[in-house]
Amino acid sequence: MSKELAKTYDPKGLEDRLYQKWMDNGYFHAKVNPDKKPFTIVMPPPNVTGQLHMGHALDETMQDILIRFKRMQGYEALWQPGTDHAAIATEVKVIDKLKKEGIDKHDIGREEFLKHAWAWKEEYGGKIINQLKKLGASADWERERFTMDEGCSKAVQEVFIRLYEKGYIYKGSRIINWCPVCQTSISDAEVEHEDQDGFFWHINYPIAGEEGRFVEIATTRPETLLGDTAVAVNPEDERYKDLIGKMLKLPLTDREIPVIADEYVDKEFGTGCVKITPAHDPNDFEVGKRHNLEEINIMNDDATINSLGGKYAGMDRYEARKAMVADLDALGLLVKVVPHNHSVGTHDRCGTTVEPMIKPQWFVRMDKMAKAAMDALKPGELEFVPPSFGKTYLHWLENIRDWCISRQLWWGHRIPAYYCDECGEVVVAKEMPEKCPKCGCTHLHQDEDTLDTWFSSALWPFSTLGWPEKTPELEYFYPTDVLVTGYDIIFFWVIRMVFSALEQTGEVPFHHVLIHGLVRDSQGRKMSKSLGNGIDPLEVIDKYGADALRLTLITGNAPGNDMRFYWERVESSRNFANKIWNASRFIMMNLEGKTVTEPADLNDLCFEDKWILSKLNTVIRDVTDNMDKYELGIAVQKVYDFLWDELCDWYIEMAKVRLWKADEDLKAANDALWTLRTALTEGLKLLHPYMPFITEEIYCTLLPEQESVMISNWPVYQEEWVFPEAEKAVESFKEAVRGIRNTRTEMNVPMNRKTSLHIVGKDAETCARYEACKKSFVNLAFAKEILVQEGKEGIGEDAVSVVVSDAVVYMPLEDLVDREKEMERLKKEQDRLTKEIARCQGMLSNPNFVNKAPEAKVNAEKEKLQKYEEMMEKVNTQLKQMEK
């Protein structure tokens, strides 16, 4: 072995070098290969505005583990990467940048603004991709896509036109979520609902023609009163049956509005009378449609009151609220104000309270496509891991509304709709028509709006593979196998991909959806800028290495569950890396200059070698099974336990005896070295998907003839590695060693004090097992010699015994302790305990203490007495044994 591992493990020194090696050799690149089975993961495209955070780190690590695992299993494994144009987020960033330069977006116009946006994307768009590479992501970067590249844009246009021609896309005036700050419509999925402290304002609406009679309503948004077109009551509500059909004077206006009956009204909630504002509430909008009510929009796009608001025109919505409430109070129409905590919709990008408004927008009809997506949720077609998230998926689809897909932005896919300037005819086409098909006019203009970002990312699993063209990649790699994503994005993205894929390709976009939780801080709080508790993954990588971060994120991780991030756990992961590094160095030092050959017959191996091979075999089977079921946290724990506990702490120690005496028995040393190398090599392969860098460095140093662990074959279970008898023998000896160590600790026996061990087996077969591997356990058991026998002959009466499941181990007392010194120590301890017991008994027999002291103090003394009495019993037993 010409190459050596560095003395100390330093991730900084090797991670960038190894990643470049993988890139240079094209290991990440997948090709259409009819001789191999494909396995595909499509990367949830991070925003071009993005910065790597812990959520990304977890998501990408899980994908990388799966893709590396499948690549080693012999699949043609494609991990398709790319980035999302993130319409709102990017436009905000570019507008801010231009503002700092003294430029207003509207002054320079659309075309010039887009030049700035593309320049911004080119400068900052690749930042997060480079950060993913630091994490070790083995995505096929040669195939990197962008949601606004030529191919993806073509797919978006194709889908829009197809859905429009099918009648699934329409333009209409409906209630949408409007962000007054970003000045655009947003989808339901981009609205975050948060509980806020507010009020219920109870207001009297006078009944027309009935002086002194009122209808009392309660509202959380009194400013929308200006747009009321009715008050609704439940048709079954006896209190108000006589009012149905009557007219009310709408306060602060000169209008009258009707009282209508609608089952939408909950008799038990509030006053049982509900103001209906069709232009500013989605439920009221539906009521308005049923009753043919007028829709009066009383707000401008910036959430100020418009010209229909009379004296309140020009006021901000909250300023108008204050003024209107004061005026209602002055008129004697404000009944009361009641504090009320309620759910308020805010824009997930800027945090502004969303204003429901009626606006002409483009929508996708969801009824038929939603049903197809619901029908797809079944084993073999589409499954969630864990399955419980299927309920979330169905719940969202069952309650889905038509999807508002137009956005009042310039950055994004522009809607391919063209309007005739003469007759208003709408033409949806790939390019602007030369003339209007209706009136022949040659003056047309394109719709100003762009498409919701999710419209393009909904096509991601197939648009990235070349659709709508029938490319070889699409035929081979699609549908994809698994989508890995957080539970907070099921309705945003997963559902849209499913119904879009079913509609356009006739197939589900992926067969499994692996859901993970959030990475929270050590206190269990969500990481956020406002709390300042976010942890930068790059900082962790810089300090401890990518492997340590990856192991930390996956250890203990169960699908769907949140996890907490602790720096101590990262240190523990780094310590594990150090352990593997040092163990590997020890093995390589012993292999240096030796030709090691595989034993001709594995049955000739000693029990210890068979035991580690058998343990390795079980781990291979179990880990493969866990990974196939996406139980990544369980799988890595088994690999960790095998490498740390069984290989490093037990087997290496067992093998040392034969390595030290290599000159005396060449075959025994060869067997030990071959087994050590095999266990380490296969263990590294199992660990590789989780910790790719350290495993690559050790593997290629251990086996210089091998190109990379990344393209090695995944270990497989082998029947010839099943050795139950060897497992039984070694596990028995391990139990004995643990018992010996515990006893020595209790007796304060120094580490360097060796003893003779007498193992009395329960029968001849047991004795034969202990005899077969006793040499390997001499050091582990702190023994100078190990004698195995069936009876107690020759064992002194004063020997200390350790009972295990199939034997009793005896240690001569004089080997463990200096009798005179130990008796002297025990007598001193006896004197000390006698005094402590007398003190406790004295206090507890004193009525003043027992009756007057706090109960906790009395109980503490009782516990002390019990503890001292137990200690005294042990000391007395040990003294009697000594005196014998």
Per domain, the residue ranges of the chain are: 184-356, 546-707, 726-817, 820-883
Regarding the domain delimited by 726-817, which CATH topology (the fold level of the hierarchy) does it fall under?
hypothetical protein PF0899 fold (3.30.2320)
Of residues 359 and 349, more confidently modeled: 359
pTM exceeding 0.85: no
Separation between Cα atoms, residue 630 and residue 635, nearest integer Å: 9
Residue scoring higher pLDDT (823 or 443): 443
Are 248 and 241 a contacting pair, CB within 8 Å? Answer: no
Separation between Cα atoms, residue 3 and residue 867, nearest integer Å: 58
Read off the pLDDT of each residue in 244-259 and give the average, rounded to a whole number. Answer: 93
Q: Once rounded to an integer, what is the mean pLDDT over residues 410-429?
A: 94
Instruction: Give the pLDDT score at 612.
Output: 97
Q: 121-143: buried (b, 16+ CB within 10 Å) or exposed (e) per residue?
A: beebbeebbebbbbbbbbbbbeb
Dihedral class, residue 412 (left if φ above 0, else alpha if ψ from -120 to 50, else beta): left
Is the pLDDT higher at 657 or at 698? 698
Do residues 232 and 205 make contact, with C-beta atoms less than 8 angstroms apart? Answer: no
pLDDT higher than 60, residue 107: yes
Q: Residue 869 class from Cβ within 10 Å (0-12 exposed, 13-18 middle, 19+ buried)?
A: middle
Burial category of 571 from C-beta neighbours within 10 Å (exposed 0-12, middle 13-18, buried 19 and up): middle
pLDDT of 143 higher than 90: yes
CA atoms within 13 A on the CB side of 402: 19
- Could you tell me which residues are annotated as the binding site for ATP? 529
pLDDT computed for residue 1 by the predictor: 46
Q: Say whether pLDDT at 859 is over 70.
A: yes
Which has the closest alpha carbon to 737: 786, 796, 772? Answer: 786
pLDDT in tens, 678-700: 999 999 999 999 999 999 999 99
The predicted model gives 331-343 an average pLDDT of: 88
**Is the pLDDT at 754 greater than 80, yes or no?**
yes
Task: Tally Cβ neighbours within 10 Å of residue 485.
Answer: 20
3: alpha, beta or left, given left = phi > 0 and alpha = psi -120 to 50?
A: beta
Q: Does the structure show a pLDDT above 70 at 189?
A: no
State whether residue 859 is helix, strand or coil: helix
Instruction: Kindly state the percentage of the chain with pLDDT values over 90.
Output: 63
Q: According to the model, what pLDDT value does residue 258 have?
A: 93
pLDDT for 95: 86
The mean per-residue pLDDT over the stretch 657-661 comes to 88
- pLDDT of 884 reads 66
Give the per-residue pLDDT at 832: 93
Residue for token pair 């919701």: 452
| The pLDDT of residue 325 | 94
CA distances from 99 to 93, 102, 409, 669 (A): 10, 5, 17, 74
CATH number of 184-356: 3.90.740.10
Among 195, 104, 54, residue whose Cα is nearest residue 533: 54
Q: Among all chains, which residue has been given the structure tokens 């990262």?
A: 570
What's the whole-number mean pLDDT along residues 426-440? 93
CATH of 820-883 given 1.10.287, 2.60.40, 1.10.20, 1.10.10:
1.10.287
CA dihedral 841, 846, 851, 855 (to 10 degrees): -20
Mean pLDDT estimate for the chain: 91
59: exposed, middle or buried (Cβ count in 10 Å: 0-12, 13-18, 19+):
buried
CATH H superfamily, domain 546-707: Isoleucyl-tRNA Synthetase; Domain 1 (1.10.730.10)
pLDDT at 2 over 70: no
Nearest to 858 by CA among 848, 844, 845: 844
Give the residue ranges of the annotated binding site.
529
> Which residues have a Cβ under 8 Å from the Cβ of 559 and sit 6 or more positions away?
385, 386, 514, 515, 516, 630, 631
* One fold for 726-817 and 820-883: no
Reported as a pLDDT band with limits 50, 70 and 90, residue 747 is confident
